[in-house]
Amino acid sequence: MTKPSLFRGSAMLRLCCLILLLSLAIVAQVPTPKSVLGFHPTDDRTIADWTQIRDYFGKLDAASPRVRVQEFGKTTLGRPMIVAFISSEENIRELGRYRDINRKLADPRTIVPNGIIDEESLYLREGKTIVSISCSIHSNEIVASQMSMNLAYEMATKTDAETAEILKNTILLLIPSSNPDGIDIVANWYRKTLGTKSEGTVPPELYHHYAGHDNNRDWFMLNLKETQAITKLYWQEWFPQFVFDVHQMGQFGPRFVIPPFHDPPNPRIPPSIVREVGLVGYKMAADLEAAGIRGVATNTTFDMWWHGGFRTAPYYHNSIGILSEAASADLMTPVTITKERLKETRPVRGLRSPLEPAINHPNPWEGGLWRPRDIAEIEMIASRSLLKLAAKHREHYLKNFLELNRATLKPLPDEPQAYVMTAGQPNTETIARFLQILMWQGIEVHQMTRELWFKHDKAVDEYHEMPLGSFIVFVNQPKKQNVLSLFERQTYPDRIGADGTPDTPYDVAGWTLPLQMGIESDVVWDTQDLEKFRDTLKPVTNINQARAVMNLRPAREAFAKVPNPLKNPARIGLYKGWAGSMDEGWTRLVLDTHQIKYDSVGDPAMRTGDLSKYDVILLPSISENGILRGLSADRYPEEFTGGMGAEGIANLKRWVENGGRLVCFDASCGTVIKEYGLPIKNILAGVNRREFYNPGSIVKLEVDLRHPLAKNTLEETPAYFTNSSAFEVTSESVAPVGRIRTVAYYANRDALMSGWMLGEKMINAKPALLEAAYGKGSVVLFAFRPQHRGQTWATFPFIFNTLER
Ligand SMILES: [Zn+2]
């Protein structure tokens, strides 16, 4: 097309000028981030805190008809969480309509077939691809939260044809941060330390109140306010076809890691989703190469096995989850990375060296200055690649989404039909929480309003009665993949290298939720006329309906606190060092959820404080280095350094000798065993991975129910093992060590219940929970983590029992 043909006569020219002026006027009114903040976001050594980010998005909302900002929840510490909807002016005006269309595509049962109007065609023709981009859930991976303002400004103001197509065909749900509390924790620390030796270090506290970095390990458990709010936004309201979670990693690998991911894929993820994820990654990679960006790697490090991450949970909702990991600077301070340093980087899955060209990494970055703006530029290009794809193939993505959801409704012969939580189990509060977790993710639950007969064993032709008051979850529902993935026992594939070394999964190998929570759930393979009765069973529409069935008091909020289980509570101290421990945070979450009172005891109080005000002190799973040395004085102000040190260990020992009960979780046991001279050893310490390996699985404990610490547990209790320990009592006890009693053992056979474990024989029948008398007090040693990520309700009673006077 040539220019003159566009300008026929002066009237047309005047019209064009008018349109141009109008659009310039719109652009002129939209504030740049710099005009609001006083600096350009992602410039070196600048940082915007949550108030500033919200302020900018608020101004954008006021100025741009393409942007609407909505508060959709509150954080753990009470800050507002916001999402910016970004689309064309016309789409923004009708957001509710597009949300409703997409909700129909998410549940094909709601689309009327063969009606007067062809609903399906209408929705596919008119619907928009819903894309969500979420920034900086990990708050020290700070750049994306700053970049989000630049991305929003660009989408609000650009007038080129490509942007117009994106705006017309997609609705972007941009979440500037999914952990706003952490943005402020990091921003405050960064500003305070700017120009000091601590500039660019991570703050000396968890950047999520309870979970720290583990805030991205909560996506099926929903312990945290933030995961609850985003889960509601995604899987109750908007059902995004794409979820893009923007992260950063260490400094010395490739510059940017994107999909396709590494093996193994989880068999419950639809294969077409695996392919679509890969396609997005390759599109991003191709666009980045075209822009001259070096150091982009695919097919490395991150796998598609685990469920509970920001970008992995969407797979079980038939959504395309994308993760990107950019190499980090020192928060917002540039760093210089030498080629020599890159040479020392150790191989990771799928990548031998950041300097070696490979098919999945054809253009290595060879070192140099690395700035926040480099990270932001890459993230902006990648975001745009995703939006371009989503816009260009709008109908393809909507149709695929609909068809995947439709496929979930068809029963398959090799899959169970349902799972039943039988009435009469004692732990009703736990069951209520479990049902709430399922329902919040959009899983349908039914109440057994009539007795039915089920076949539990696929191979055995025997029917069992399922009583009134039970709850049933049908497999064939739009959330089918999620139902299967949460209820089934995981079997991680035996991935072992040529030298016998197991290939480390990115996260844990097994997570089966009813096992972790100690809930009996029966699998239903067949029932007489189940489908016929399905419509006669009552759907559970809110948690108080389920609570009423179990004679529990109504709860005021969805994830309400649980009644305090302690009859005679001890005075409790919980160790909290400056080197933030996620295990400590999760312990606090469990205690707070159960309304158990405790004090956090810091390093100074451990060293010299009067501990006699406590009956029990909990030592979360922390390495010897974390306990004895803590943060290093090289980078941190002295007040935060040194851990509790030898002084703290000695103070604690005197307190135990005088009658205190010290409770140690997993990694902290070793320090106490050594420093107190207990005749106990961890038989897994120093053992080669080829001999024993368990990167996160559910294992069976055999419990001595006669022991007071075993109250309210099951004879066979599932427990969480993640690179944990197994004990052996090595010799006769010598004073002040008294009698050592085993409360629970790892099962003597078939200990693996869900996940992956090599060399199981090493831990069979070995003590997993011990109590050793020590002076007038005692030491309780958990070889595992009884509160792992706040998920393991099955083993919470062991903790509670240690907290009784
Ligand atoms: Zn991260």
Mean pLDDT of the chain: 95
What are the residues whose beta carbon lies below 5 Å from ligand 1 (ion)?
138, 141, 247
pLDDT at 721 over 70: yes
pLDDT in the model for residue 2: 40
CA 661 to ligand 1 centroid distance, Å = 37
Tell me the CA–centroid distance for residue 276 and ligand 1, in Å.
22
What is the 327 CA–ligand 1 centroid distance (Å)?
11
Q: Do you find a cis peptide bond into 736, omega within 30 degrees of 0?
A: yes
Give the whole-angstrom CA distance, residue 316 versus residue 487: 13
Q: How far is the CA of 216 from the centre of ligand 1 (A)?
A: 8
The single-letter code of the amino acid at 387 is L
Ligand 1 midpoint to CA 73 (Å)? 22
How far does residue 215's CA lie from ligand 1's centre (Å)?
A: 10
Which phi and psi (to 5°) does residue 224 adopt?
-105, 145
Contacts of 718 (CB under 8 A, 6+ apart): 515, 516, 518, 698, 699, 700, 701, 753, 794, 795
Tell me how far the alpha carbon of residue 427 lies from the centroid of ligand 1, in angstroms.
Answer: 35
Ligand 1 centroid to Cα of residue 441, in Å, is: 23
pLDDT band at 7 (very low <50, low <70, confident <90, very high): very low
Euclidean distance between CA atoms 790 and 306, whole angstroms: 17
pLDDT band with cut points at 50, 70 and 90 for residue 6: very low
Over residues 175-189, the pLDDT tens digits come to: 999 999 999 999 999
Does residue 8 surpass a pLDDT of 50?
no
User: What is the C-alpha separation between 742 and 617, in angstroms, rounded?
Assistant: 20
Query: Could you report the per-residue pLDDT of 258-312, keeping only the tens digit for each?
Result: 999 999 999 999 999 999 999 999 999 999 999 999 999 999 999 999 999 999 9
The percent of residues in the chain predicted with pLDDT above 90, rounded, is 90
Q: How far is the CA of 177 from the centre of ligand 1 (A)?
A: 12
398: CA distance to ligand 1 center in Å? 29
Q: How far is the CA of 306 from the centre of ligand 1 (A)?
A: 15
Asked if 16 and 8 touch (Cβ cutoff 8 Å), the reply is: no
Task: Find the 60 Cα to ligand 1 centroid distance in Å.
Answer: 27
| Residue 310 CA, ligand 1 centroid: distance in Å | 10
138 CA to centre of ligand 1 in angstroms? 5
The mean pLDDT value for 422-430 works out to 95
Task: For Cα atoms 69, 70, 75, give the angle at the middle one, nearest 5 degrees.
Answer: 120
**In whole angstroms, what is the distance from residue 510 CA to residue 504 CA?**
13
Query: Which residues are registered as beta bridge partners of 358?
Result: 361
Summarize the confidence of residues 682-707 as an average pLDDT: 97
Which of 413, 410, 435, 423 lies closest to 522, judged by CA?
A: 423
- For residue 785, which amino acid is it? R
pLDDT band (50, 70, 90) for residue 3: very low
**Structure-token match 């919040």, residue found:** 440
- Torsion 123-124-126-127 (CA) sign: positive
Ligand 1 mean position to 303 CA, how many Å? 14
Structure confidence at residue 387 (pLDDT): 98
Which residues, in sequence order, are CB contacts of 655 under 8 Å at separation 6+? Answer: 611, 612, 614, 617, 662, 777
Q: Does 19 score more than 60 pLDDT?
A: no
How sure is the predictor about 13, in pLDDT bands with cuts at 50, 70 and 90? low
Question: What's the confidence (pLDDT) of residue 462?
Answer: 86
C-alpha 145 – ligand 1 centre gap (Å): 12
Per the CB < 8 A criterion, the answer to whether 598 and 574 are in contact is yes
CB 433 within 8 A of CB 379: no
Q: How far is the CA of 302 from the centre of ligand 1 (A)?
A: 12
Helix (H) or strand (E) holding 331: none
- 155 vs 247: CA distance, rounded Å: 21
pLDDT value, residue 21: 52
Is residue 4 pLDDT above 90, yes or no? no
The half-sphere exposure of 499 on its side-chain side, counting CA atoms within 13 A, is 3
Is a pLDDT exceeding 60 seen at residue 23? no
For residue 338, the tally of other CB atoms under 10 A from its CB is 12
How far is the centre of ligand 1, averaged over its atoms, from the C-alpha of 738 (Å)? 45
Looking from the CA of 256 toward its CB, the CA atoms found within 13 Å total 28
CA of 139 to the centre of ligand 1 (A): 8
330 Cα to the center of ligand 1, angstroms: 14
Give the gyration radius of the chain's Cα atoms: 28
Which residue matches tokens 């009114």? 29
Question: What pLDDT is recorded for position 529?
Answer: 60
Ligand 1 centroid from CA 384, angstroms: 20
CA of 646 to the centre of ligand 1 (A): 33
Mean pLDDT to the nearest integer, 540-565: 96
C-alpha 194/C-alpha 129 separation (Å) is 42
Q: How far is the CA of 18 from the centre of ligand 1 (A)?
A: 47
249 CA distance to ligand 1 middle (Å): 6
| Least confident piece of the model among 28-37, 510-519, 744-753 | 28-37
Distance 450 CA to ligand 1 centre (A): 47
Please give the distance, rounded to the nearest whole angstrom, from the Cα atom of residue 288 to the centre of ligand 1: 21
Query: What is the CA(141)–ligand 1 centre distance, in A?
Result: 6
Distance 311 CA to ligand 1 centre (A): 11
Cα 231 to ligand 1 centre (Å): 18
Residue 147, Ramachandran bin (φ over 0: left; ψ between -120 and 50: alpha; else beta): alpha
For the segment 597-638, what is each residue's pLDDT rounded down to a tens digit?
999 999 999 999 999 999 999 999 999 999 999 999 999 999
Q: What CA–CA distances, in Å, run from 543 to 157, 218, 540, 548, 725?
A: 44, 20, 7, 9, 38
User: Ligand 1 mean position to 102 CA, how many Å?
Assistant: 29
* Separation CA 149–CA 48 (nearest Å): 10
User: What separation in Å is there between the alpha carbon of 183 and the centre of ligand 1?
Assistant: 13
645 in helix, strand or coil? Answer: helix
Expressed in angstroms and rounded, the spacing between residue 213 Cα and the centre of ligand 1 is 7
**Could you tell me how far CA 331 lies from the centroid of its own chain?**
22
